[in-house]
A = this chain, B = another copy of it.
Amino acid sequence: MLGETVSASPRFEYLFHPRSIAVVGVSTDFSRVGPGRMYVEALLGSGFKGKIYPVGRSGGQVFDLRVYPALKDIPGSVDYVISAIPASETPRLVKDCAAKGVKTVHMFTAGFGEIAAKNGKKLEDEVASLARRSGIRLIGPNCMGIFCPDTGLSFELSLPRRSGSIGFVSQSGGNAIQAVREAQTKNLYFSKIISYGNAADLDECDFLDYLTDDPGTKIITAYIEGFEDGERFKNVIRRAARAKPLVVYKGGTSAGGRRAASSHTGAIAGSEIVWESFLKQVGAVQVYSLDEVLDMAVLFNYLTPPKGKAVGIIGIGGGNSVLAADACAREGLTAPLLPSAIRRRLEAIYSSEAGGSFRNPVDMYFAKFNLAHETVRAVADSPGIDLIIVHMTIGWSPKNDVDLAKKHVELLTGICGEVKKPVVVALRPFGPAKYTDATADAEAALFEAGFPVFFSVASAARAINRYVDYYQRRKRSR
């Protein structure tokens, strides 16, 4: 659909489909934090179908698996090694991997180029060079590695096993994990996530290239702290943005952020390119927080692109209506006056003797929210309206608000598919826990029905503004 030819099997396909994994640095001392053990547990929990070989000096057993004292003691072949040993021992490990015919080494191990001491960078270079000479590809060091639910490759226990269409290249492992968990509440799932840390060998360019060619990935998202080769990076980004929606969150835009990035992944934050204008020019969407990454993924996943930025705003409450309209305007949308025929239709729906607030924004009134579906239909029939935002807050009234919200959600889900214009819901949680729970339930039901749901009118409008820009730029560049 997006006009780029993709190769049947991308170059680094094998990284995501190991038949056997050895986790090196598995301790059987359960009184201590054990990242090696954590990886074994994550692979078991994610249903990895290949062989899992824990490796650790102590031997023994973890999770009913035999712990091998060394890589060479493993009877079968090993495709993929996860390193959770101290940095100083990694050159030896890479040599062992070469001897064993290992194709990929993921270095969870930290203490390389990201540390202040110069020997860190030296060790990183040594390990990378050893790997290169043996034809081994390195992921990391200092990263969580690959998440690929299709093959049961995971870096954290109890991440969802369901696969989706979003690819995420995330220099930070923490952001990757947060993204998976948040996305789950939005009924969004990932095809592949790569946390690649210091990028001593494979880097953001390799992984972006991979996702560009990966048929299972429909939307590419990226959290990037820095890059090595500006020209190559630009070309990769350009190709990715041409092939698929590409959402980029650049970390390290401030002095403190750059300092943190260099301590985090040793990244040089690349002030040599002007990110904003470059990303705009190639048609990528730039965002400024992890929430905004997911907000864009929500739209690319759920919403038919609106033709323009004219929004019909529907919600409950006079004050809320004012605020919703102001927020839309601040974020770049317009809320045109509804035509008089539509206003008359709304007046008829509400049997309004009071004139009513039907000019846009439209106030549904608390007592008459059961007319939500008819209201949405009427506003959608306005020729000047490109899309609709329905805003609602659960917890406004203390009495039967949760039941009302359920009813409201039912009415909205009832019209899904029937209304021809894109409809977005802003669902504002607040107050005591019972309303927060009710909001979570409502959110789940709305996503299930196919509505994109946002935390606030402002965040919805911000994402929609970028979304429409994205499609308008694509259209112009054709």
Contact = CB atoms under 8 A, between A and B. Distances in A.
Interface of A: 33, 110-111, 114-117, 120, 156-158, 170-175, 177-178, 181-182, 184-185, 223, 225, 251-257, 259-261, 263-265, 288-290, 313, 316-330, 334-335, 337, 353-357, 359-361, 363, 367, 393, 395-399, 430-433, 436-437, 440, 456, 458
A124 to B, nearest CB: 13
Nearest to A251: B322
29 contacts: A156-B398, A172-B320, A173-B319, A174-B317, A174-B320, A181-B395, A181-B432, A182-B430, A184-B431, A185-B430, A251-B319, A251-B322, A251-B326, A253-B326, A253-B330, A256-B325, A256-B334, A256-B335, A257-B322, A257-B325, A259-B337, A260-B361, A263-B355, A264-B318, A264-B357, A264-B363, A265-B318, A290-B323, A436-B440
Nearest to A325: B256
Given A170-B319, A225-B322, A318-B260, A354 B252 contact: no
A236 B175 CA distance: 48
A416 to B, nearest CB: 24
B355 A260 contact: no
Going nearest first, the 7 A-B pairs with the smallest beta carbon separation are: A172-B319, A254-B329, A264-B318, A256-B325, A256-B335, A116-B355, A115-B355
B367 A260 contact: no
A363 B172 CA distance: 13
A353 B88 CA distance: 12
Given A182-B431, A326-B253, A357 B260 contact: yes
Contact of A260 (B110, B223, B325): B325
A11 B327 CA distance: 37
B178 A254 contact: no
A264 B322 contact: yes
A355 B255 contact: no
What is the oligomeric copy number?
A: 2
A117 B355 contact: yes
A323 B257 contact: yes
B357 A256 contact: no
A261 B323 CA distance: 9
A357 B115 CA distance: 8
A172 B322 contact: yes
A447 to B, nearest CB: 14
Contacts of A178: 393, 396, 430
- Most chain B CB atoms below 10 A, which of A120, A263, A334, A393: A263
B431 A255 contact: no
B437 A361 contact: no
Given A33-B367, A330-B288, A263 B357 contact: yes
- Most chain B CB atoms below 10 A, which of A111, A253, A318: A318
Contacts of A185: 430-432
B398 A174 contact: no
A329 B255 contact: yes
A173 B317 CA distance: 9
